[in-house]
Amino acid sequence: MKPFYGLLSNGQTAALVSPDGSVDWLAFPDFDSDAVFCRVLDPAVGGFMSLRPESHHRSEQAYLPGSLVLQTLLRTPSGTATVDDYLVIGRAELRRYVRTEVPLLLDCRPRFAYGQSLGHLRPTEDGLLWLNPHGSEAVLLTLQGPRPRRVGREQWLLPPGEHEAALLYTPDFAKERSEFTSPMGHPASYLEDALRYWRQAPMPQGSPALQGLFERSVLTIRALTVRTTGAVLAAATTSLPEQLGGARNWDYRFVWVRDASYAAEALLLSGDVLAARRLIEFLLSAVQMTGKPFVSPFLRGDGSFRLGERELGWLSGHRDSAPVRVGNAASAQLQLDIEGDLLWALWRYVEETSDHDLPAAYWWAIERMADWTAAHWQEEDASLWEFRDAPRHYTHSLVLCWVALTAAVRLAEVAGRDAEVEPWREQARLVRELVLRDCLAPDRASFAQRGGLAEVDAALLCLPLYGFVAPDDPLWRQTLRRIEQDLVEGGLVYRYRRDAMGPARHPFTLGSAWLARAYLCEGRDAEARAALDQLAAVATPLGLWGEHVEPTLGEQRGNFPQLFPHAGFVAAVAELARKERQGMVRLPWPVEGASGMQAEHRG
């Protein structure tokens, strides 16, 4: 696969570093703040910070083991430069630790408001200060090491030796002026602090053959985690296109309830119980007591809601793929599955840990979500795919309503509230009957994306994972055959074939993890491993995935890196490892087949 960007994170914001060592994305101070570097979205207007030899060179990149410190080697005929990039924990600060045998050109061009403002420049004793002329924010570059020579407005020539470049941000320069300095010392000391932070949490074990990519996926989930709240973002970027030149460009720098619930399950299955509980509690705490439990399908990392979407018309978009959007209009959509996603993650947590105190403490949230689902499951929604045309009755959404009600009944039993749940049990029965009656293809031999259509979608792969059907149910097996025939190409899975915006151009990376887990449920272990191997083969050399992949060119598509495939890969590999140890896949509860018979799969 072609190299793409490397990810930096400090649990507060994220940066992207290109394969040749240019920082082309950096939002300050938070993940969803305005970007001071966004050359990834416009090479002319977006800011960046590059380090490069003046002569011909080639580059190599790798993460320092167990960390989010990215090392870039720049090799020239005259010598090599090594650059270690990281974001400082607890500060809105980027550091670049350089050891070079050749002169390097440092080009630093922060821009405010996604490139709208150049900023007023003010030289300092050891660098440069940029002030936003339309606000109070400022960016400070401090250079340490053999004295550089300023060769342009925002350029320096670094001589051979050891250097550190620190880029620091403040939202209010007037207020924080006296404290707005970047502490300098021996560069390696700050690097060691960053390494210590990322390596302090134990690394879970997956299947041995996939352990390296498994560890990188766990670290990517941690990189997308907001350090102060435990929330996990859907992606680190906005508007990287699902297809070049198209309009499927969205802002994913938020905590989608669905995506975060997937991440909680993945962390739980991998053995990181503390992170899983922290994330589940963050989501439970956001449940609203009036209206829909979640007024939007996503939240900001601090638990507040951000509504609406706007376009940044001055940016050309990644490889001329406009528009660039901030915010997301999906905030106004009705999505019926998300309460089920969260209650499922909570039930899995209880099942794995036998912690009955958590559902008892959050019974108010469980009850609120179950009551709302029981009253509203018959409504039409936008589905997990967030379709922007008219709402419909989608099979996956209805199944997740059943999951919400079924999980709530189970949680009531462990919380000592089972006397209150008969209405939920009855509504779950009605949802199940509706799905089995109306959510079938015209020949009634398989499930469909929605009732009456012949088309399937990748979300149907979740039906046995949620215990809605037994893995040996004929209706499920025919559904899987149709998914294999219609959506699987070269071992990769398309989410569906088309929607109101046109054809789906590229495979959906999470789909391969869903497929692997479905195969594990059926006892098709070799095919599960093959699906995971194929997903691993389309990761970047740094072990990262976007939402989609263009397999012919070997390029990532969509926002990057995307939580979905990393969480899906962790969950699938963890289940594979369990099956290798225990010889079975344990379903969450006894499963009824379409015939009404109960089954439990041992694999």
pLDDT single digits (tens) 410-430: 999 999 898 889 999 999 999
Q: Which of 136, 170, 199 is the last residue of a domain?
A: 199
Three-class SS of residue 70? Answer: strand
For 148, the token pair is 């550089």
For 301, the token pair is 């990392």
Is 484 inside any structural domain? yes
Is 101 inside any structural domain? yes
Is 1 inside any structural domain? no
Same structural domain, 150 and 52: yes
Is 366 inside any structural domain? yes
Contact status, residue 226 vs residue 232, Cβ threshold 8 Å: yes
Is 167 inside any structural domain? yes
Same structural domain, 565 and 461: yes
For 124, the token pair is 């300092």
Cα–Cα distance list, 277 to 10, 152, 166, 261, 268 (Å):
21, 51, 35, 11, 8
Parts of the chain with a pLDDT under 70:
584, 586-587, 592-603
CA distance 51 to 72: 10
CA distance 343 to 349: 10
Q: Which of 145, 170, 199 is the last residue of a domain?
A: 199
Three-class SS of residue 68? Answer: coil
What does pTM read for this prediction? 0.95
The pLDDT score that the predictor gives to residue 593 is 56
Same structural domain, 539 and 478: yes
Give the model confidence (pLDDT) of 49-62 as tens digits. Answer: 999 998 888 999 99
Cα–Cα distance list, 532 to 174, 495, 511 (Å):
52, 17, 10
Q: What is the DSSP letter of 324?
A: P
Total tally of structural domains belonging to the chain: 2
The pLDDT score that the predictor gives to residue 400 is 98
The pLDDT score that the predictor gives to residue 189 is 80
Is 225 inside any structural domain? yes
Same structural domain, 462 and 517: yes
Same structural domain, 276 and 341: yes
By CB atoms closer than 10 A (0-12, 13-18, 19+), residue 593 is: middle
Three-class SS of residue 25? Answer: strand
Q: What is the phi-psi region of residue 239: left when phi exceeds 0, alpha when psi lies from -120 to 50, beta otherwise?
A: left
Q: CA dihedral in degrees (318, 320, 325, 329; nearest 10)? A: -110
Same structural domain, 17 and 88: yes
Same structural domain, 45 and 153: yes
Cα–Cα distance list, 297 to 75, 257, 287, 336 (Å):
46, 6, 11, 9
Domain of 52, CATH number, reads 2.70.98.10
Q: Which amino acid is at 503?
A: P
Contacts of 304-312 spanning 24+ positions with Cβ under 8 A: 305/331, 306/32, 306/254, 306/331, 307/331, 307/332, 308/332, 309/251, 312/114
The pLDDT score that the predictor gives to residue 330 is 93
The pLDDT score that the predictor gives to residue 596 is 39
The pLDDT score that the predictor gives to residue 252 is 97
Residues 6+ apart with CB under 8 A from 340: 373, 399, 400, 401, 402, 403, 404, 407
Three-class SS of residue 37? Answer: strand
The pLDDT score that the predictor gives to residue 206 is 84
The pLDDT score that the predictor gives to residue 595 is 41
Of 524, 437, 529, nearest to 477 (Cα)?
Answer: 524
Three-class SS of residue 108? Answer: strand
The pLDDT score that the predictor gives to residue 566 is 98
- Encode burial over 433-467: b for 16+ CB neighbours within 10 A, e otherwise: ebbbeebbbeeeebbbbbbeeeebbbbbbbbbbbb
Q: Determine the Cα angle at 339 with ends 442 and 487, to 5°.
A: 40
Same structural domain, 249 and 177: no
Per the DSSP assignment, residues forming a β-bridge with 45 are none
Same structural domain, 285 and 171: no
Tell me the DSSP string of 440-480.
Answer: B-TTSSSB-SSTT-S---GGGGGTTTTTSS-TT-HHHHHHH
Same structural domain, 187 and 251: no
The pLDDT score that the predictor gives to residue 600 is 39
Contact status, residue 28 vs residue 13, Cβ threshold 8 Å: yes
CA distance 289 to 64: 45
Same structural domain, 195 and 213: no
Same structural domain, 393 and 474: yes
Q: Which of 157, 182, 199 is the last residue of a domain?
A: 199
Q: Which amino acid is at 539?
A: A
Contact status, residue 278 vs residue 290, Cβ threshold 8 Å: no
Contact status, residue 505 vs residue 242, Cβ threshold 8 Å: yes
Domain of 412, CATH number, reads 1.50.10.10
Contact status, residue 116 vs residue 139, Cβ threshold 8 Å: no
Domain that holds residue 493: 208-599
